[in-house]
Amino acid sequence: MSNPSISKPLKLGIAGLGTVGAGVVRLLQANAQAVTHKAGRSIEIVAISAKSKNKDRGIDLSHIQWVDNPMDLVSHPDIDVIVELIGGASGIAYDLVCAALKAHKGVVTANKALIALHGNELAKLAEEKNVPLLFEAAVAGGIPVIKTIKEALTPDRLKRIGGILNGTCNYILTAMAKTGCAFNDILKETQELGYAEADPSMDIDGFDAAHKLAILASLGFGHTIHFKDVFVEGIRGINPDDLRYAKELGYTIKLIGIAQQHHDERIELRVHPALLPCDTPLARVDGVTNAVFTEGEFSGRLMLEGAGAGEGPTSTAVSADIIDIARGSTIPMWGTDWKELTPATVVSRNEFNKAYYIRLMVQDKPGVVADIATILKEHNVSLRSLLQHGATNDTDDTPIVPIILVTHKTKEESLLQALQAIQQLPVITEKHIMLRIEEA
């Protein structure tokens, strides 16, 4: 692989023929001529593997060899590159990628879980064996963000990277805001459209976005990241009411991921739903669209926007990696030798310093607001605004009403302590909702 012969075809073994795998086959077949021109040689799918051989995938597989066990793709003498599109951080995907690299075969994968959890080990292996390991589709699907950071921004020092990194959550939150529909009904749609992970809790609990953020932080800051150090909160707690109240306050709610370098070189790594001012660029990114921004010392602010999931965009990213390998790409996996990466020191959640949206459900009795305000004052939390809607049911003696608080910037530790005390007040009827506000 280190010295590709331009005259010989590049021969692929593709493992996984779901949304992305079937999409890659479709794209390489449909655009075969253009791909050959751009790659400088033809690209041949020699063998494929998935779980069920007889599933109708809407693609022509008649001239491609089928293997039941994806590991047989590695031992196949004619295959140069393994395209791993099964998914999962461990099990068959991990075994396959390790075995391929050990066998001096290049790898293309869309598997963010695998790269976020095992990226350094795989980078080491790829560099030792002098074979490429490319993963453009792993972050923000069709948006060429890996290439942008690894190649276009490589001379700069990035200070902040982030954005909307999960198409499923963005689709759900957008639809909830527009229709007021419940979460679960919309989740089903994202599964039918092929956006959600095989286990959709990876999306809605924030882990998929966190995998992508960890990868971006490694690439952008040159650090090794322990995935467990990423602060992760998903969107299960958000209901259409929060989206409505946020709108009244001039915000929309999005699941965001932010990686930020502090002055002392420590980094903040967080994925959570956040209120974004409606007139900011990220707030306008709707549906399955993702957006990734970078802020660099020299390059300034840059934002890329596009489809973060789905067959067409994701298979374009995978195919572009395949073409890079066909052309003989030699850029290391993290854009720099894996030995150059330094361990990240990560800022703890208690140190986050943000403004917050809080929804409390309370019995509408005299003195409630005063009690809450007293506790906030005791914990040094300053209020910016308060929104209270009266009860709609006049016949109820003790109606339950929402109180929406917006704080000034405060240390998360202080707010958590205040909320713990507020939660003990007898007038509080359910667990509060606490969301961070991302102003910039």
Ligand X SMILES: N[C@@H](CC=O)C(=O)O
Active site residues: 212
Backbone angles phi, psi at 251, to 5 degrees: -125, 165
- Per-residue binding string, ligand X, 132-151, x by CB under 6 A, is ---------x----------
Interaction of residue 67 with ligand NDP, rule CB under 6 A = no
Is beta strand 81-84 parallel, antiparallel or unpaired with respect to 43-49? unpaired
Interaction of residue 203 with ligand X, rule CB under 6 A = yes
CB contact set of 28 (below 8 Å; sequence gap of 6+): 35, 43, 45, 319, 322
Tell me, rounded to whole angstroms, the distance of Cα 174 from its chain centroid: 17
Q: Which amino acid is at 400?
A: I
Instruction: Judge whether 265 and 236 are in contact, CB under 8 Å.
Output: no
- Beta bridge partners of residue 436, listed in sequence order: 274, 356
Interaction of residue 50 with ligand NDP, rule CB under 6 A = yes
CB contact set of 58 (below 8 Å; sequence gap of 6+): 22, 26
Q: Per CB under 6 A, which region of 77-85, 123-131, 190-198, 244-252 contacts ligand X?
A: 190-198
Write the DSSP assignment of 149-214 as a string of letters.
Answer: IIIITTTSPEEEEEEE--HHHHHHHHHHHHH---HHHHHHHHHHTT-S-SSTHHHHTSHHHHHHHH
Instruction: Please report how many Cα atoms fall inside a 13 Å half-sphere around the Cα of residue 143, on the Cβ side.
Output: 24
Interaction of residue 52 with ligand NDP, rule CB under 6 A = yes
* One residue of 94, 171, 195, 334 binding ligand NDP per CB under 6 A: 195
**Of Na ion, ligand NDP, ligand X, none, which one sits near residue 168, judging by CB under 5 to 8 A according to partner kind?**
ligand X
* One residue of 194, 240, 328, 399 binding ligand NDP per CB under 6 A: 194
Distance, in Å, from the CA atom of 1 to the CA atom of 329, rounded to the nearest integer, reads 10
Interaction of residue 111 with ligand NDP, rule CB under 6 A = yes
Q: Per CB under 6 A, which region of 174-182, 194-202, 360-368, 412-420 contacts ligand NDP?
A: 194-202
Angle at 237 between CA 418 and CA 425, to 5 degrees: 30
Interaction of residue 23 with ligand X, rule CB under 6 A = no
Interaction of residue 16 with ligand X, rule CB under 6 A = no
Interaction of residue 440 with ligand NDP, rule CB under 6 A = no
Kindly state the helix (H) or strand (E) to which residue 418 belongs, with its residue range: helix 412-423
Size of the site for Na ion (CB under 5 A): 6
- Per-residue binding string, ligand NDP, 81-100, x by CB under 6 A, is ----xxx----x--------
Q: Per CB under 6 A, which region of 273-281, 306-314, 403-411, 422-430 contacts ligand NDP?
A: 306-314
* One residue of 35, 50, 140, 322 binding Na ion per CB under 5 A: 140
Question: In this complex, which beta carbon is closest to ligand NDP, that of residue 171 or of residue 356?
Answer: 171
Residue 411 three-state SS: strand
Interaction of residue 127 with Na ion, rule CB under 5 A = no
User: Counting beta carbons within 10 angstroms of the beta carbon of residue 307, is it exposed (0 to 12), middle (13 to 18) or buried (19 or more)?
Assistant: buried
Instruction: Judge whether 44 and 338 are in contact, CB under 8 Å.
Output: no
The token duo for 123 is 């980078």
**Of ligand X, Na ion, ligand NDP, none, which one sits near residue 136, judging by CB under 5 to 8 A according to partner kind?**
Na ion
**Of Na ion, ligand X, ligand NDP, none, which one sits near residue 166, judging by CB under 5 to 8 A according to partner kind?**
ligand X
Residue ranges in contact with Na ion by CB under 5 A: 136, 139-140, 143, 145, 317
Residue ranges in contact with ligand X by CB under 6 A: 141, 166-168, 195-197, 203, 208, 308-309
Residue ranges in contact with ligand NDP by CB under 6 A: 15-21, 49-52, 55, 70, 85-87, 92, 110-112, 137, 141, 194-195, 197-198, 309-310, 314
